[in-house]
Structure formats: C-alpha cells, structure tokens
Amino acid sequence: MKIDVIPYAPAIRPDLIKNRHVIVIDVLRASSVMVIALANGAKAFIPVRTVEEAHQKAIELQGEEVLLCGERDTQIIDGFHLGNSPQGYTRNKVQGKTLIFTTSNGTQALNRLQEAAKIFIGSFLNMNALVRKFQALDNVVLVCSGTNNNFSMDDAMCAALFIDEIMKKKAVALSDFSITLLKAFRKDNGDLHKLLKDCYHLNLLKRNGFEKDVEFCLQKNISDIVPEMKDGRIVRVN
C-alpha cells in the first residue's frame, strides 16, 4: 500500500488526493469531537467554513434537529450550542441530532477534498478501527489539518501512529514525508506526551483552560467507529 501525508491543509492539491483514500486528522480537537459525537449517537456532522454559513445551513435544514457547533480561537462561538470540547458532546446532548460544525482548521481541510475517492476521519481515539479499515483499502493519503495554516505536531504524530500500526499488518511504500514522521514518532518510542511536549497548539489549548480536552484527545482506541464523509455529511458507517 502506498502511503503519503499532506503536512497541513493549505498544502492540499487535487493531484495529491485524486481518487485516493483520504484520512483527515485534526486531533486537537475536531476529529476527536467527530468520533465521540458519532459514537454518542449524533446523526451527522455538516462541516461549513464560516459562522454565517452555519446559520444559513440551520435555516435550510428546518425539520431536522440541528445543533450549531464549533470554535474560533479555541472558544465556543457566540450563540452556538456546543464548542470544540469532545466531552461536551454527550449522548444526552447529541443523540439523533445533525451537527452543523465550523472550526478554524479541521473543517477547512474537509472542504478541499472533492477529488478524493473516500474521506475518513482519523484521531488517536479511533486509531485501531482506522487501521482495521485500511487492511482492506489501498492508496491512502493522510491529511494533517494543522493549525492556523501551519504544520501541527499533534496531527502529524497521529499520522505517524497510523503508519506505525498499519506497517504491522501489511506491506507499505512510504513517501519521504511519511518516513520522516515515523522516525520522529519512534524517536520518543511513540510516547505522545513526550513527543508533543512543545507542540504549539497543544500548549495554546492548555493555556486557554482546555487541559482536560488535550488529555482526552490523546487517549488511544477508546472508540471503534470510523466516521466517513458522504455527500457533504460526516456519518457513522460502522
């Protein structure tokens, strides 16, 4: 299996993703939120770029039970129902609901993947499920969402863990970037707290009071679901 990694959302180019199986990663926190919310019974996520689009979409979807969800500068958006803390997406709040979702980084990447064959959502939380899924799939591109249009180590180390795990299951052909991430990951023996000690975005979240979110998102394999994007909606397919 060929594996490539795109370092951050602005580096997505149609030729890199065309007809390939894409895994979008935004560990802190959009991917993690999607996994948990869908595991807790949310019907779907609809990623949108702007707050205005979110409100517009809510009007279009009259009849569905919708929640407005997302963040700007790490904080919940004024007038929205939920922010970007995975622990806020309890069954009580999200079951059966359609979540209109806009974040600074993760949803930007999702809107640039029209040429992909399939689009999945990856995080530490659902890593084993993702690896199992790709035992039967080929030709994968891991898209690290990044932070503020730049590379973010949390996403990259999640991509590296995927590579490390899938290599135990099948033969892979690694790009230069995949090799580099894997070497970095193995330098600290995959110890996420050590690897991400100086990660900019992780430390920003901690400073902004989201230390619990960070700890939550760095847990491995607490969910078995693999969210997939279909017709503009991210849904649970397993």
Binding residues vs a second copy (CB under 8 A)? 7, 10-11, 13, 147, 150-153, 156, 174-177, 179-181, 183-184, 186-188, 195, 198-201
Q: How far is the CB of 177 from a second copy (least distance, A)?
A: 4
The CA-based diameter of the chain, rounded to the nearest angstrom, is 52
Q: How far is the CB of 164 from a second copy (least distance, A)?
A: 13
Q: Which is nearer to a second copy, 56 or 175 (CB)?
A: 175
Query: Are 91 and 40 contacting, i.e. CB atoms less than 8 angstroms apart?
Result: yes
Q: How far is the CB of 183 from a second copy (least distance, A)?
A: 4
Both tokens of 152, joined, read 């973010």
Q: Which is nearer to a second copy, 180 or 219 (CB)?
A: 180
Q: Which is nearer to a second copy, 91 or 151 (CB)?
A: 151
DSSP letters for 91-149 = HHHHTT-EEEEE-SSHHHHHTT-TT-SEEEEE-STTHHHHHHHHHS---EEEEE--BTT
Q: Which is nearer to a second copy, 73 or 198 (CB)?
A: 198
Q: How far is the CB of 11 from a second copy (least distance, A)?
A: 6
CA torsion through residues 205, 215, 163, 39, sign: negative
**DSSP, res 213:** H
